[in-house]
Amino acid sequence: MAVYTHLGAEDLARLIAEYDVGELTSAKGIAEGISNSNWLIETSRGRYILTMYERRIDTAQLPFFLGLLDHLAANGCAVPATIHDRSGAGFRQFDGKAVALIEFLPGVSPTEPTAGQAEAVGAALAKVHLAAQDFGMDRANDLAPADTLAVLEKCGEDALAGIDPALPDILPRARALVAGWPTDLPRSVIHSDLFPDNVLMLGSKVSGMIDFYFACNDAMAYDLAVTHAAWCFPGGTFAPELGKALVSGYEKVRPLGEDEREALPLLAQGACQRFVASRAEDWLDTPADAHVLRKDPMDFVRRWDFYAEKGAEAFS
């Protein structure tokens, strides 16, 4: 369960009392998530998500992440707003750790997405991109191709080969991708990690997009490419109906420029590189006896191969 810090009933009641949300009636730890402790909170007024930031999150960046949620929610995007405490703060310290209370949104993350769901996600993502263009804060993308190349090189060829003998072969491809990476595409604040488990749906309607802790300023088309790579390979095989629906939904809200459309195949390869790097790093950092299912980076190597082979066809 993703609850690394135990909070007793008295602790939780004292913490929730700092918010104008009514009295605590129940709290349940949430198993999902790998970086923070999370609880589903019920009060006399409603439901909320309580997050305690444990690792991987620089608390100095919380004003960006939580302020972005407030900005997007105020602009009609399907994201949870931050619940501010009685002093007006978006987060507070509790036992030396930052905590935040977030609006609870109903819905279920799809495990086998349909074309209708993919289209709705594309439209919701485009709305986020448009709404975020006048967000007043910036955050650099620290998982851009140059950064993920550095992660792979730090892993080293021998260690990568220990995961899979073919894995070191991606290093020269990654270097070439970095050298040819476009830098002049239209930008906004992007989610950059919109996998199906970060989307809540009610049927084919997006009820919430969550986990904005990788959000940053970067190319909007790159975010679409990340989402394409994350959504359109159920069971590891490309589903063209999902890809077509995702791009169609996006363009119904924000049409792509010709430069963005031409860049999509390369951007998708960069997205795959990112997830190859993060999975390889996690694989090597996870002890062999840990009760954690390590994700195979070769899954995204195969998607990388697909985008390199199919080019623009993957997005038509």
Whether the CB-CB separation of 220 and 255 falls below 8 Å is answered with no
Q: How many CB atoms lie within 10 A of CB 93?
A: 10
Question: β-pairing, 187-190 with 92-94?
Answer: unpaired
pLDDT at 2: 47
d(CA 37, CA 6): 9
Q: Three-state DSSP class for 17?
A: coil
d(CA 28, CA 12): 11
Give the whole-angstrom CA distance, residue 204 versus residue 192: 22
- Domain 9-103 listed as CATH 3.30.200.20: yes
Query: What pLDDT shows up at residue 1?
Result: 38
Secondary-structure class of domain 115-315 per CATH: alpha beta
Contact 264, 244 (CB under 8 A): no
Q: What is the model's pLDDT at position 8?
A: 83
Q: Where are the domains of the chain?
A: 9-103, 115-315
Cβ proximity of 200 and 106 under 8 Å: yes
pLDDT, averaged per 10 consecutive residues of the chain (316 residues), comes to 67 94 92 74 96 81 96 97 96 91 96 97 98 97 97 97 97 98 97 97 97 96 98 96 98 98 98 97 79 84 98 95
Query: 3-state class of 251 per DSSP?
Result: helix
Rounded Cα distance, 20 and 23, in Å? 9
The answer to whether 245 and 166 are in contact (CB under 8 A) is no
CA-CA distance, 261 to 315, in Å (whole number)?
8
CA angle 156, 161, 166 (to 5 degrees): 120
pLDDT at 289 (0 to 100): 65
Burial class (CB in 10 A: 0-12, 13-18, 19+), 57: middle
